[in-house]
Structures are given as structure tokens and as C-alpha cells.
Structure 1
Amino acid sequence: MNMEEKAESLLANAMRLGVSDIHLLPYEDHYELFFRVSTGLSKVAVYSIEKGERLISYFKFLSNMNVGERRKPQSGAVRYRLNGKKIELRLSTIANFRYQESLVIRLLYANPGFEPGLHAFFPAQEAELLELLDHKSGLVLFSGPTGSGKTTTIYHLLRRKYADEPLQIITMEDPVEIEEPLFLQAEVNEAAGITYDLLIRQCLRHHPDILVIGEIRDEETAKMVVRSALTGHLVIATIHAKESFGVLERLRELAISSEQMKQTLLAVVSQRLIAKYCPLCSGKCTIHCSHYQVNEKSAAIYEILAGKELQNHLRDKEDGKRFVSLNDKLRKAYACGYITEKHYLENLV
């Protein structure tokens, strides 16, 4: 089997298992191959130094990296079609102190319905999120760790909304992770001067029904997002924070006032993507467990701060109702037997 066939076989196996990342890591006298799935990293193969280096060189060639450069970190991307399925690969290399390269490949599934993580542990939460898209203007923010399924959730909700009525949906991302022909997708390119705030200004002239901002990173983007919501657009964006109340603090750090939040915020959603408990494996599934379909091995739990609860918090008012936090939802999922104790404890905030 030549290196091209080996790489294709590796990708086909990863796609079959719903892998999110492939890790090829160097050790003193060998390489080890790991697949990242909902339950974590799983070792799947051991290669000789020569074979590991050849495989890395092939993927570097495939993604237009400098094959001869091993000392400096590099990154690249390539679109791939395998067995009728489209996939985008995001690759990065870093060398250790011995100048042995490591390779990590992120798999971005382009086929709707194949992307893992489209399910919620509590379906009523998905219905609550869908209702947010009935608003004609306002701001909905999603937060959660990298890999928690924020983009997947947003696209899933938008597809459901589009199925009800055709809409002008514009997304701005860095980079575009999921290709969707129903939406107008723009990509940030800071090297070319195409920033989030510039794209937002231009996209508003297209009169979108829904505007999606990949990530609020700085004050300028935050101000443009709020301005867009104030001018009568429904805006959905992601932002880094541990939980919903942390999102509000993060907005204040980005110079967004409480009054602006009161005027624009519809909801703040914090989410986690967690592997489902498999009773047939007693919660100790291997990467080859087939008791769930590939795209049903994990599901999302949401903390939704919206409506009166959100407005009361912004106004420092108490209404006597207890807010159902992410920890409460995790506790319920564990009590119902949906997740393992390990995953319950790992995701507490």
C-alpha cells in the first residue's frame, strides 16, 4: 500500500467512526496514531519513525505546506471527497525538541446530517432554542469550550428554520467549518484586511434576515454585533466564556454596557457536548462501539439564560424563581442515566 492509499484508508476509517481529530504524535523511536471521539483520545496504531514521517510529509504535500520545513509550525487545509462524502481537513504541525514533527488533522464534515452532535439530551431545550429564531431582531450568544458543538448547533437550528421559510442567512466565520449551500457564507481573512467588523458592515447592506458571526473576539466586533442587533437584524454569534453569566461579564469587558445588553440580548446559551452512556458497554465504550450510530454517540446539554430571567439578571432583580443552571442539567442527565459519573464531574462549572 503506497502512502496515498494509506492516507485514504486512514481518513475513510476516521470518517466511518465519526472522528473529530486525528493526532499523529512522535516518540523517541516510533509514532503513535490517535483518534479523538466523544469519549476522548483513543490509540489506534503505532508506526515506525520512517512511516510516521512519510505520512506527515504526504499530508503536508496534500495541504500545500512546505514539506521540507520541519522546524517551524505550519498549518494548512484541503477539501477531500471520499466515498461520495465531502470533508474538509484542517492540518497543523509542530516539532518537538528533537525536530520530530507532530500532526493534528481536524475533520470538518460537509454533509448535512453526518456531522456528529446534532442531538440534545433534553429535546425541550432544542424546541426552546428554535423559538429564539422566531424573533425578527436581537442577539443570541452561544458559548462553550472548543469542540462543544456550538457551530453544529447553530447550523442545525438555522437549517430547521430555513425549512419552514426561505430566509437570507449570511454567515461570517474564521474559517468556514460547515459548507451549507442554503446560506451565503463569508470567510475572514485578516491578511487581506477582511476582518469581522468589515464583513459585518458590508453584509448589513445585503439586508439579511439572520446574521451569524463566527466569534466575538474584540471590542470592535462586539460593538458591530450590538449595532446590527439594534438596527433590526437577528444576530447569532459565539463568544468564549465558561457559562452564561460569564458571557455577560465578557461583554462588559468588551465595552458593551448593561443598557445595550438589555436592548439587544434575547438569550445566552452555554453548551457542552457529552458522550452518551452506553449500557451495553457499561460506560466504557471503545472507539469501535456500534451500539449507537456514528452521529448519535454524543449529545448536547444547554444552559439557556433568556426572557425574564435574563432581563431580571441585567436589572439586578429577583423574581423568586431559581435559574436552571448547566450544573442542574448535568445532574439531571447523570441521574437519568444518560451520562457517566466521569463525564458528569468533568463538565461541572
Structure 2
Amino acid sequence: MEEKLLALIRLARNRRASDIHFIRRGNSLEISLRQPDGLVQLEQDIFEISLLEYLKYRMGLDLTRLHSPQSGSGSLAGTDCRFAFLPAQDMETGVLRLMQTDTSLHIQDLSSDTAVTEFFHKLAGRTKGLVLFVGPTGSGKTTTLHAILREASLVHDLKCVSLEDPIEIPDPSYLQIGIDEENGLTYERGIEELMRHDPDVICIQEVRTPSAAAKLFTAAFTGHFVLATIHAGNGRECLWRLRDLGIGEELIREQLDAVISQRLYPAAGCRGVSENRKEVCLHEIITKPEILHLLDKGVYPPGFRRLEDIVHQAASDGSVCREDALRDFPR
């Protein structure tokens, strides 16, 4: 059974998957991979229900409490993994997160657009302000933040502290703190603890509650440079999401400096399962002028290139597949 499990991990890695999803219904097991091009179900007859049972054991779940939600972690095929298990009345679901291990990525590797990489280089040298990153799972937000934090620490000698759930890219160049809600380390408590470390740069992955959002803005107001991720589709949606989390418009106007929205796609013609498959990361960046215009008018400024415009332009140029662009931004 170990051999089958390791084969599944290697398959997921080859397809650049960030997660493996399991759904057990009766005597059947569905397995899907969260790949750069979306959630793709495996058509297979090799992996059976016994594989899911073995995975629970390997991830350290309490096998006497399988009627309750649990999470566990472990290493498989040289990959650090985190497993979340959720039982329901007629089914079981599980998600295995595959942690990234490549700490060598640099900002210049994030995009072929020099304007984007130059903007990220400037972020790496900042010591004040608030910048948010948005995008779905698998869009490369964690990788982008890691590259910025690494450069801030190693190049600019800034003290960087990151609060993560879980820690996906372990890196000794800056301090990483993992959320542990069972032992009282929530995002809210974690932000308070980060402040006591006297950091130059604070990174929060990700902001989910009104209290965490409020502490995020407090950290920026007290003179730190704050980077964070938040659940939204683009810059405009991010501003509305902040309002939903109870952040007042005046505070957004004063404290928020930029929102980066991104998507990650296989390069056109590179949809195979090779480890060397190329990917294209596309970014929408709104800064203070666009933020103020969106708050005043509710729409992007005239002539501004929205994320969907950038994605469809990449499809027209042949950089990404048109079907990927249409999947995310139908026209």
C-alpha cells in the first residue's frame, strides 16, 4: 500500500498539483488533483478505498475518532504533507496538501513582465505599508510571497516574520510561525505575537475573519510593512471583501497601498505531466490611484488592464491556452 501511495504522490508532483482530493462514496473512491489548470479528476482503477484508510494512518489520524473532523501531517516520497479529513453522513472527504520545497525561486522568475518584477523588487525593500494578494488556490500566491520575503531578508537585511497555515515553503532566511488552533495559536493571537518580535515585515497567510483583518490594518498603522492574502477574485473584489470584513472605507483609503491579483496557467503546448512543464503567471496590480478610483466610482479607471484583459491577451498571444482563459473569464 505504501508503494501505491508514493506513486500517487509522484503523479501529483509531476502534474504540479498543490492538493490531492479524495471522496469516498460507498465502495467507490474518487481522486482529483488540484493542478494549475484546475481540479482534474483521475480516471483510474488502481487506487482503492484501502488507500484512503492507509493514508489516514500515515498522516497520524486518531483511527478511533474517524467520525469527527481531523487533520494530520507527515512526509511522503520526500514531500511534506498535511491531510484534512471530514466525515459526512454518506461519504468521507479528504484533502492532502503537498508542501512546496523549492526555496531557490527569485523574484525575476515570477513573471516575464519586467514591470511586474520591478514592482515586486520595490516591495521587497519596503518597511511600511499594506499590500494584499488575491487569487484562487494554486494561483502561486505563496510562491510570490516567499520570493519577496526571501529577497527582503537576504538582500535588504530586513527582519521578516510570516504567519502561515500551514508552512508550505520552509525557509531559514526568515521566521515562519505555523497556526496551531488546537493549542490556542489562532491568526488573531499569531498577529499579536508577531508584533512582539519587532519585525520590519509581517506576512499573514491568509486573512479570514473580521478580527484578523482589523489586526492586519493595525499592524500597518503602527509602522510595519504588511503583506497578506485574502480570498477574492481580483482587486475590485478585494476592496468589497474588506468591507465585508468590517474595514471602513476611510481606513482602506489611508492604509491600503496595493492589491495584486494573479493566475497561474500551463504555458500553451505544455499541458503534459512532465516535471519540466512550463507555467505562466499573470498579474493585475492596482495601486493607490486605482484603489481610490474603485472606491469612488465602483469600476476600474478607463484604460486600466484588468486581470481578465491580461489573461485573454496572453491567450491571443499564444502564451496560454484559450480554453484556460475562457474557463476563468468567460466571454
TM bucket (normalised to shorter chain) is 0.7 to 0.9
Query: In 2, are the aligned partners of 1:31 and 1:46 still within 8 Å (CA)?
Result: no
Query: In 2, are the aligned partners of 1:230 and 1:263 still within 8 Å (CA)?
Result: no
Which residue number in structure 1 is paired with residue 276 of structure 2? Answer: 293
Query: In 2, are the aligned partners of 1:211 and 1:236 still within 8 Å (CA)?
Result: yes
Which residue number in structure 2 is paired with residue 244 of structure 1? Answer: 235
CA distance in 2 between counterparts of 1:211 and 1:152 reads: 16
Give the direction of change, closer, same or farther, for the CA distance of 1:64–1:198 in structure 2 (3 Å limit).
Answer: same
CA distance in 2 between counterparts of 1:23 and 1:217 reads: 22
Query: In 2, are the aligned partners of 1:32 and 1:46 still within 8 Å (CA)?
Result: no
Among candidates 76, 79, 86, match of residue 75 of structure 2:
79
Which residue number in structure 1 is paired with residue 188 of structure 2? Answer: 197
CA distance in 1 between counterparts of 2:298 and 2:31 reads: 53
Higher mean alpha-carbon deviation, 21-30 vs 9-18, is at 21-30
Larger radius of gyration: 1
The one-letter amino acid paired with 1:337 is G
Among candidates 114, 127, 131, match of residue 136 of structure 1:
127
The one-letter amino acid paired with 1:220 is S
Q: Deviations over 1:22-81 (max 9, x none)?
A: 34454666545544422341526313xxx6233222211111113355554443221346
Among candidates 37, 40, 47, match of residue 39 of structure 1:
37
Deviation at 1:200, TM superposition (A): 1.7
SS of the equivalent of 1:214 reads: strand
Query: In 1, are the aligned partners of 2:111 and 2:280 still within 8 Å (CA)?
Result: yes
Which residue number in structure 1 is paired with residue 4 of structure 2? Answer: 6
The one-letter amino acid paired with 1:18 is R
Among candidates 66, 77, 83, match of residue 91 of structure 1:
83
Q: Deviations over 1:131-184 (max 9, x none)?
A: 233332110011112222211211122223334222211011222222111111
Structure 1 unaligned regions, length at least 5:
none
The one-letter amino acid paired with 1:11 is I
CA RMSD of aligned residues (A): 3.0
Q: Deviations over 1:311-349 (max 9, x none)?
A: 444455999752221121112111111111211111228
Query: In 2, are the aligned partners of 1:35 and 1:44 still within 8 Å (CA)?
Result: no
Give 4+ residue runs of structure 1 displaced > 6 Å after superposition. Answer: 317-320
Structure 2 unaligned regions, length at least 5:
none
Q: How many percent of aligned residue pairs carry the same amino acid?
A: 31
CA distance in 1 between counterparts of 2:23 and 2:301 reads: 53
Deviation at 1:247, TM superposition (A): 1.2
Among candidates 53, 62, 68, match of residue 66 of structure 1:
62
SS of the equivalent of 2:207 reads: coil
Which residue number in structure 1 is paired with residue 96 of structure 2? Answer: 105
Which residue number in structure 2 is paired with residue 120 of structure 1? Answer: 111
The one-letter amino acid paired with 2:99 is L
Deviation at 1:103, TM superposition (A): 4.2
CA distance in 2 between counterparts of 1:309 and 1:27 reads: 48
CA distance in 2 between counterparts of 1:70 and 1:93 reads: 9
The one-letter amino acid paired with 2:10 is A
Query: In 2, are the aligned partners of 1:57 and 1:67 still within 8 Å (CA)?
Result: no
Query: In 2, are the aligned partners of 1:276 and 1:338 still within 8 Å (CA)?
Result: yes
CA distance in 2 between counterparts of 1:190 and 1:76 reads: 13
SS of the equivalent of 2:45 reads: strand
Give the direction of change, closer, same or farther, for the CA distance of 1:124–1:148 in structure 2 (3 Å limit).
Answer: same
Q: What does residue range 1-349 of structure 1 map to in structure 2 within 5 Å?
A: 3-26=1-24, 31=29, 33-40=31-38, 41=40, 43=42, 45-47=44-46, 52-67=48-63, 71-80=67-76, 82=78, 87-94=79-86, 101-113=92-104, 119-120=110-111, 122-278=113-269, 285-286=271-272, 288=273, 290=274, 293-294=276-277, 296=278, 298-314=279-295, 322-348=303-329
CA distance in 1 between counterparts of 2:145 and 2:324 reads: 23
Query: In 1, are the aligned partners of 2:160 and 2:201 still within 8 Å (CA)?
Result: yes
Query: In 1, are the aligned partners of 2:220 and 2:255 still within 8 Å (CA)?
Result: yes
SS of the equivalent of 1:299 reads: strand
Give the direction of change, closer, same or farther, for the CA distance of 1:317–1:164 in structure 2 (3 Å limit).
Answer: same
CA distance in 1 between counterparts of 2:259 and 2:27 reads: 49
Query: In 1, are the aligned partners of 2:294 and 2:301 still within 8 Å (CA)?
Result: no
SS of the equivalent of 2:149 reads: helix
Query: In 2, are the aligned partners of 1:132 and 1:266 still within 8 Å (CA)?
Result: no
